[in-house]
Amino acid sequence: MKVNVKKLHENAKLPVYGSEHAAGADLYALEDDTVQAGETVFVHTGIAIELPAGTVGLIYARSGLACKQGLAPANKVGVIDCDYRGEIVVALHNHGTETRHVAAGDRIAQLVVAPYYTAEFEEADALSETVRGVGGFGSTGRK
């Protein structure tokens, strides 16, 4: 699948897959940033994308950055709708206790392009029965 990417700044980097079978493409910081402990900073990538109709861009944490430095998207998973044409900005939150620095060109998150369904929601008086029923929040697997 081809995805058009527009550089909004000359120093911006296009997303890059780290390996042949990687699901997520790395997103790069446009500028240096400092993220204080417990703080969220909007990190610019300097790019905009044109996702094909019927797809969504999902922004996930990079495992190494999140586990080793405590830096991960504040909203857990960012959603880029296929009709959005603005800059991709990652709300990077510092879950750690130390100040962290992001340098221009650092990999800050990963972008997964995936298909989605648009549902037609209908009000119903009842829902079908299942074995699980209304159990939620850790209810499966209990004996």
Whether 17 shows a pLDDT value over 90: the answer reads: yes
Distance (Å, whole) CA 60 – CA 126 = 36
| All domains in the chain, ordered by first residue | 22-115 (2.70.40.10)
Specify the pTM.
Answer: 0.90
Whether 9 shows a pLDDT value over 90: the answer reads: yes
What confidence tier does 135 reach under pLDDT thresholds 50, 70, 90? confident
What confidence tier does 133 reach under pLDDT thresholds 50, 70, 90? confident
Whether 143 shows a pLDDT value over 90: the answer reads: no
Q: For the CA atoms of 52, 65, 105, 83, what is the dihedral angle to 10 degrees? A: 20
Give the helix/strand (H/E) hosting 63.
helix 63-64
> 61: which 2 tokens?
């944490």
Distance (Å, whole) CA 42 – CA 25 = 19
What confidence tier does 136 reach under pLDDT thresholds 50, 70, 90? confident
